[in-house]
A and B are shown apart, each in its own frame.
Chain A
């Protein structure tokens, strides 16, 4: 197979395969994107749950603080005692309707934490920022500054978030019916701690949460709290994010999921089906390519075998032709020069010419038979006769050549019944087997023949003591054109002898087999030979 063809074949396979892989990849990518979206939706629900904890927490604080800030009197001692005992309060303050500070008592005496409070709260006390936020007529009262929930048109309370130091600080304000505003500054560490206490923990045992991590981050993107055993690599982007509800709207939840877990969650079967489909198509393509390759290389091999066959036949024809021509020319020369012709010598030369001609015609007969076999045109010509006689005739014919090589022939005859058979076919079978012995097994110096008849079957065994046939070759020797050695310098041969012999044997209702033998080779020819006596013949009727 030429390089060009191989390249073409490879392209033919690779291009569709690559296209398939690309398409599969795209499909998988699409599916993953869709899945990611689905997953994000699922995870977003979890974040909504987490955020609900935050919402409920501030609703609870709000109820508490509504109670705390419901003051009839602004007694400093009572307010201080409240701050002292209420775990969530850092400070309580009271403003007049116009924003003037009533508590802490500016006229004094102030304790240290009150002084610190006035210092840090200056922004919203002096600038009346909180007052504007708490003003029911103002726009900002309805803005995100204060809590969005539980806000009616006549806003009487809400959250005020202001930033100093480490971040957001929360003040709950309430406008009393008198117009006074009571504010409660929450202990920042405490509400963070309480939120943490309410949010989930990392579970002890393996759960889906073991492969994820939810972070609760503040407005500076610093982690305040996190749970889930999965440790996201630094710089990883969260799969889902969600802002917390007011008053913590600057804080966010971030959801991280282990990448491996993500694909595991992604419905393994769908991906598997896709991959299986793609690989099936790939396998079919590869199989087709293999078949194509085999077919084409088989044809090429067959063509090569035919060329080889023609070479062999030519070689085969050349030897007897050369001999015939040489001896014929010698005779012609002797006759022309008028020499006295030695009769014995001439007879010997003529015998050679006749022998070589026989070999030629056998050879040509073989080739013709083979051609006929290929076209299934052979017909047997069944005639009554004795098979042993046919065998003896062939032995007779081969005797000189075999004797010349020192081969002793024995024949145990056992097929002397008159049966219907094609003598030419039997002869051709035997000639092919004998010539194999002559060519390849002469060194064994033996050729043993056995014939027998049982019922309508006749068997002929042809054994030699030559080198035998290697086990690996046994199956192939009957294939046309097959030769154990294809070298031209070895014994000449066409590689069709055994193929023809077997074809004829089978045509004769039997077979040609190579039997197992300790040494040399033993071929068994089996034929269907109906007996003349038992089956009445047309001619005799």
Chain B
């Protein structure tokens, strides 16, 4: 803690005493349920977006952060030889240097087979851990599935919901030993999430399978990043650890009860379980001062002007890593109905609208990828160009920088659907898609 920080804390002491109740609730995740159109047009069936936003509370003090339980799983296959493995080791070591004695780390390296280089160890043994990492040498095939399996097993030795449990997977190639399809890795990711383990995946270079890496990360609630140059590894590992070290809540269960008469259509950005009127979403982690949201599209029934209708009620439970309690939050959102089109326009919630646009365009971006995969280059281009235009208009309308950036991204992607540029562009698209899906804090495509 710096001297100025300490001064600030002292200065705020009287205020904190007065606002005792407030400060207790400050260590709570903020739940905000809002509509893109808080006021809707009357007497017509219409779709609307419900944004369920969760913002992690501020981690007041670095010492108060939750201890972490991290498994670093490194690809040491033949293709990693040379600079890549050297940089990967540097990055892992630099990241480990940031950990404290209460943290736990394990290091797993895989090629054709798996070696547990450092079994789950308290960070009191930092030096020997670093020594072991130095010894890793590259060579062999890519048993990615087995690497993740063993990494997860190391986490399980100290699996605890007071800790941030994360596998950090680095790979530069196609998995070619053991299960290797995106769906199998995705399934594994989903299963690990149920245990509170998330897997952040780092794709290095242009030869890894981005579908596999994004599915694994997305289904487990981890980050994904496309790293074109090994030089960036140290920086990215640091970003990832920034994230891991700022987790304030986990095991987040969101239950959205859509009001009778209102129909849930789809959840745009995350995998949700929709059982009739009930929508259930599981999130692994919330970070200090970061918002994660669920974008739910609903269909509201025709309602007379002047009336108000409840759209959804939301219940959230999560493990608070600061207080070590399971906290519950509830909130609901209602819409007003009016005959005036202009009133609907003026009452629009620009933030929610921008987020909805981002998610809709993201879904379109995924569609473009799928079309391109089927060989329909023209179709993909058309979708991307329309998307870019949609984003551009919306960016102006809602004055949103991220939309502005995505407008340019989509336009750029429309030009890179063919030739040697496609491989790189596809990886960037996948990275962008998952980053937008889960509001990832870092990554090459963030503003």
Residue positions of A touching B, CB distance < 8 A: 76-77, 80, 84-88, 90, 108-113, 166, 187-190, 192-194, 196-198, 201-204, 213, 223-229, 231
Find B150's partner among A80, A84, A85, A201 (CB 8 Å cutoff).
A201
Tally of chain B residues near chain A (CB < 8 A): 35
B269 to chain A, nearest CB (A): 15
Task: Report the Cα distance A231→B117, complex, angstroms.
Answer: 20
Pick from A77, A86, A110, A226 the residue with the most CB of B within 10 Å.
Answer: A226
Contact status of A188 and B273, CB under 8 A, knowing A86-B194, A87-B195, A229-B113: no
Q: Are B112 and A231 in contact (CB under 8 A)?
A: yes
Complex contact B178–A223 (CB within 8 A): yes
- Total of A-B residue pairs, C-beta within 8 Å: 102
* B184 partner, pick from A87, A189, A203, beta carbons under 8 A: A189
Q: Are A226 and B113 in contact (CB under 8 A)?
A: yes
A201 engages B178 (CB within 8 Å): no
Which 6 A/B pairs are nearest by Cβ-Cβ distance?
A: A197-B153, A109-B276, A189-B187, A193-B149, A196-B149, A189-B188
Q: B160 CB to closest chain A CB, in angstroms?
A: 15
> Are A80 and B115 CB-contacts (below 8 A) given A87-B191, A187-B191?
no
Please encode chain B, from 141 to 161, with 1 for each CB lying within 8 Å of some chain A CB and 0 for all others. Answer: 001011011101100100000
Considering only CB atoms, which chain A residue lies closest to B191 in the complex?
A190
Instruction: Judge whether A224 and B112 touch: CB under 8 Å.
Output: no
Quick check: is B441 within 8 A (CB to CB) of the other chain?
A: no
B276 touches A226 (CB 8 A): no
Question: What is the distance, in angstroms, from A241's C-beta to the closest C-beta of chain B?
Answer: 19
Shortest Cβ distance from residue B180 to the other chain A in the assembled complex, whole angstroms: 9
Q: Given the complex of chains A and B, what is the CA–CA distance between A226 and B178 in angstroms? A: 8
A-B contact pairs, 19 of them (CB 8 A): A77-B275, A84-B273, A86-B194, A109-B276, A111-B273, A187-B191, A189-B185, A189-B188, A192-B149, A193-B145, A193-B148, A193-B152, A197-B150, A197-B152, A201-B150, A213-B113, A225-B149, A226-B113, A228-B113
- Complex Cα distance, B195 from A110, in Å, reads 24
- Whole-angstrom distance between the alpha carbons of A273 and B116 in the complex? 42
Q: How distant is the Cα of A140 from the Cα of B188 in the complex, in angstroms?
A: 32
Q: A194-B149, A197-B152 are in contact. Are A227 and B188 (CB under 8 A)?
A: no
Whether the Cβ atoms of A76 and B188 lie closer than 8 Å is no
Besides the known contacts A86-B194, A112-B274, A166-B181, 7 further A-B residue pairs in the complex with CB atoms under 8 A apart:
A76-B275, A111-B274, A111-B275, A189-B184, A193-B149, A196-B146, A226-B143
Task: Decide if A227 touches B114 in the complex (CB within 8 Å).
Answer: yes
> Do B187 and A187 have beta carbons less than 8 Å apart?
yes
- Whether B115 pairs with A204 at a CB distance below 8 angstroms is yes
B392 at interface by CB-CB < 8 Å: no
**B280 CB–A CB distance under 8 Å:** yes
Q: Which single residue of chain B is at the shortest CB-CB distance from A192?
A: B179
A121 vs chain B, min Cβ distance (A): 16
A111-B274, A193-B188, A196-B178 known; A87+B194 contact, CB < 8 A: yes
With the chains together, A108 CA to B277 CA distance in Å?
Answer: 11
- B184, A188: Cβ atoms under 8 Å? yes
Bound form: Cα–Cα A245–B156 in Å = 26
Q: Is the interface of A mostly helix, strand, loop or mixed?
A: mixed
The reply on B140 being an interface residue by CB < 8 A is yes
Inter-chain contact A87/B192, CB cutoff 8 Å: yes
Q: In the assembled complex, how far is the CB of residue A406 from the closest CB belonging to chain B, in whole angstroms?
A: 92
B396-425 residues with Cβ-Cβ distance < 8 A to A are: none
Residues of B contacting A110 in the complex (Cβ-Cβ under 8 angstroms):
275
Which residue of B113, B152, B191, B194 is within 8 Å of A202 (Cβ)? B113
Give A379 Cβ to nearest chain B Cβ, in Å.
92
Q: Are the C-beta atoms of A80 and B275 separated by less than 8 Å?
A: yes
Interface string of B85-114 (1 = CB under 8 A from A): 000000000000000000000000000111
Per the bound structure, the CA–CA distance linking A493 and B280 in Å amounts to: 126
A225 CA to B144 CA, complexed, in Å: 10
Q: Hey, which chain A residues are within 8 Å of B115, CB to CB?
A: 201-204
Complexed CA–CA distance, A198 and B154 (Å): 11
Contacts of B191 in A (CB 8 A): 87-88, 187, 189-190, 193
Is B282 part of the binding interface, using a Cβ–Cβ cutoff of 8 Å? yes
Decide if B177 is an interface residue (CB 8 Å cutoff).
yes
Q: Which residues of B contact A201 (CB under 8 A)?
A: 113-116, 150
**Chain B 265-303 against A: per-residue CB contact (8 Å), 1 yes, 0 no?**
000000001111000101000000000000000000000
- Also in contact, A80 and B149, with CB within 8 A (given A189-B188, A190-B188): no
The residue of chain A having its C-beta at the shortest distance from the C-beta of B154 within the complex is A197
Shortest CB distance B261–A (Å):
15
Question: How would residues 113 to 124 of chain B score, 1 for a CB under 8 Å from any chain A CB and 0 otherwise?
Answer: 111110000000
B129-148 Cβ-contact flags toward A at 8 Å (1 or 0): 00000000000100101101
Give every chain A residue within 8 A of B140 (Cβ-Cβ): 231
Residues from chain B with a CB closer than 8 A to the CB of A188 are 184, 187
- Residue pair A227, B145 in contact (C-beta under 8 Å): no
| Chain B hits for A84, CB < 8 A | 194, 273, 280, 282
Residues from chain B with Cβ under 8 Å of A225 in the complex: 143, 146, 149, 178
Q: How far is the CB of A276 from chain B (nearest CB, A)?
A: 40
Docked complex Cα distance between A204 and B150 (Å)? 14
Q: Give every chain A residue within 8 A of B156 (Cβ-Cβ).
A: 197
Give the docked Cα–Cα distance between A190 and B188 (Å). Answer: 5
CB nearest neighbor in A for B273: A111
Across the interface, which residues of A come within 8 angstroms of B117, CB to CB? Answer: 204
Contact B177 A196 (CB under 8 A): no
In the bound complex, CA of A166 to CA of B188 (Å): 14
Closest B-chain residue to A110, C-beta based?
A: B275
**A227 engages B178 (CB within 8 Å):** no
Q: Interface code B163-179, partner A: CB below 8 Å = 1, 0 otherwise?
A: 00000000000000111
A residues less than 8 Å from B177 (CB atoms): 223, 226
For A77, the chain B residues whose CB sits under 8 A away are: 275
Q: Closest chain A residue to B197 by CB distance?
A: A87
Q: Which of A111, A113, A189, A197 contacts B179 (CB 8 A)?
A: A189
A85–B193 Cα gap in the complex (Å)?
9
Q: How far is the CA of A203 from the CA of B117 in the complex (A)?
A: 9
For the complex, what is the distance from the CA of A193 to the CA of B150, rounded to whole Å? 8
**CB-defined contacts of B178 to chain A, threshold 8 Å:** 192, 196, 223-225
Residues of chain B within 8 A of A197, CB atoms compared: 149-150, 152-153, 156
- Output the least CB separation between A183 and chain B (Å): 18
Task: Name the CB-closest residue of A to B185.
Answer: A189
Q: Is the CB of B184 within 8 A of A166?
A: yes
Write out the residue numbers on chain B whose beta carbons fall within 8 Å of the beta carbon of A226: 112-113, 143, 146, 177
Docked pose: A512 CA to B153 CA in angstroms: 97
CB distance from A171 to the nearest CB of B (A): 16
